[in-house]
Amino acid sequence: MGKLKNKVVLLFILIVSLFVFSCSRIPKASSDEFVVYGELMHGEGKLVFLREMDETGMHILDSTIVTENGFYSFRLKVKETSFYLLGLRSTDYAVIIASKGETIDVSGDALKLSNTWIVKGSKESKLYLDYWMASRKQKARLDSLTIIFRNSQETPEYMANRIRLDSVFNSVMEERRDAATKFLHKNPGSLASLLIINSQFSNIPLFNEEHDIVFYKLLDSCLAKSYPQNKLVLGYHLRVNEIENKIKKRIEVKKMLLPGAIMPAIETISIDGQPVSLSSLNGKVVLVNFWEAGNPVCREKNQELYRIYKRIHNKGFEVIEISLDENRDLLRDVIKQDRITWRQINDFDKGYSEIGHRFNIISVPYSFLIDRHGKIAFVNPSFDKLDKKIKLLLKRR
């Protein structure tokens, strides 16, 4: 009995000793610095980097070797709250929103940190992680469907799988945007919201600067109160001012593109290298349609447009489509799949469309229906009534 009691006492002492040792190696932060520490599984002996992220990109601040027990730590003196990235590589990392005085535990699998990281000791970082965890689950769901789609490209199930993937993608995208919107409403004064309003899902931005200006202004106002002198917030304020000025200019351009105005000239080259001139089609009714081959809604509209074009093209109806796709191979594939035969222009280079800018295009699909005299008859007409509008214009001389 005495031996058993001694063993229990020894076990208790061992546990307490381990606890004390564990606590003693946690480096507490002082008031002018922050500390990041933790355990990285599969990181033993590897170099882990701490990077700062700002509007110009990522910058390495420090690095350290992960111990044989998987432990690491960083201690940095800072002036203000900022964004930091922890990881072995610049493409796989944990996101940290660190403030002075915080001692932050960030742990996970070093080889797939962006999918496994957990955080303690930082309210802002935890807010962002909770949001990100839901996002990565939905991304995994899309990735599995994408693999099925790619593997079926040479099979009869190709189009059915594509339609299914498009449908699921639209649903998931809507869910992500809803989740992001709720987050912004609930946390407008959080720097985590600054990351989310600038985030993408499957390389597509969740928010449009001009369409969603109300959210940008909400964050601008609330962040200025939470972090009045923070460089990230001050930079964001300048950006919101630029967006508002851009909106004012677009409104001025929009006034010049109202029904009854002469449609501005379009003189360019088609994707097949043929000259395209809107003025050469005077005397005909013309639909100028801006679209993206990678946008399911645009493709759905094009199916309806194909049926209309087939019925009344020979009566004097023409189409000029302007694609804002950066992926020209995808554009050509979709043109072939959707049996598009009308004039096709690709006007997108390094994130910019010269024609789209001139015509005030901020979302697609978007179209102008032009009468026989080159005047704008309808702006962005509904496709379900498009054929009636075209027939009405064809009757006019």
CATH number, position 85: 2.60.40
pLDDT at residue 95, rounded to an integer: 97
pLDDT at residue 17, rounded to an integer: 45
| Residue ranges making up the domain that contains 35 | 23-121
Long-range contacts of 128-133 (CB under 8 A, 24+ apart): 128/95, 128/97, 128/192, 128/195, 128/196, 129/95, 131/179, 131/180, 131/183, 131/192, 131/196, 132/95
139/234 same-domain check: yes
Residue 6 burial by Cβ neighbours in a 10 Å radius (0-12, 13-18, 19+):
exposed
Q: What is the pLDDT of residues 23-69, one digit of tens each?
A: 446 668 999 999 999 999 999 999 999 999 988 889 999 999 999 99
Residue 7 lies in a domain: no
Q: Which of 255, 287, 319 finishes a domain?
A: 255
pLDDT at residue 163, rounded to an integer: 74
pLDDT at residue 191, rounded to an integer: 97
300/334 same-domain check: yes
239/313 same-domain check: no
Residue 260 lies in a domain: no
pLDDT at residue 16, rounded to an integer: 42
311/375 same-domain check: yes
Task: State the chain's mean pLDDT as an integer.
Answer: 89
Residue 17 lies in a domain: no
Residue 346 lies in a domain: yes
pLDDT at residue 2, rounded to an integer: 55
CATH at residue 283: 3.40.30.10
What mean pLDDT do residues 93-115 have? 96
285/348 same-domain check: yes
pLDDT at residue 26, rounded to an integer: 67
Q: How many domains does the chain have?
A: 3
205/288 same-domain check: no
pLDDT at residue 18, rounded to an integer: 41
When pLDDT is cut at 50, 70 and 90, the band that residue 292 belongs to is very high
Q: What is the pLDDT of residues 106-124, one digit of tens each?
A: 999 999 999 999 999 999 9
Q: Which of 226, 255, 284 finishes a domain?
A: 255
97/189 same-domain check: no
Which two structure tokens, joined as six digits, stand for 17? 């000793």
What mean pLDDT do residues 346-356 have? 85
Distance CA 171, CA 166 (A): 9
191/303 same-domain check: no
210/271 same-domain check: no
Of 113-117, 153-157, 200-204, 284-288, the poorest mean pLDDT is in 153-157
The pTM of the full predicted model, rounded to 2 decimals, is 0.67
Q: Which of 121, 141, 162 finishes a domain?
A: 121
73/157 same-domain check: no
- Report CA 394 to chain centroid distance, whole Å: 42
Residue 250 lies in a domain: yes
Residue 1 lies in a domain: no
Q: Give first-to-last CA distance, the chain, whole Å.
A: 111
pLDDT at residue 58, rounded to an integer: 93
183/217 same-domain check: yes
pLDDT at residue 23, rounded to an integer: 44
Distance CA 356, CA 257 (A): 13
215/167 same-domain check: yes
Q: Is the pLDDT of residue 273 over 60?
A: yes
Residue 3 lies in a domain: no
Residue 11 lies in a domain: no
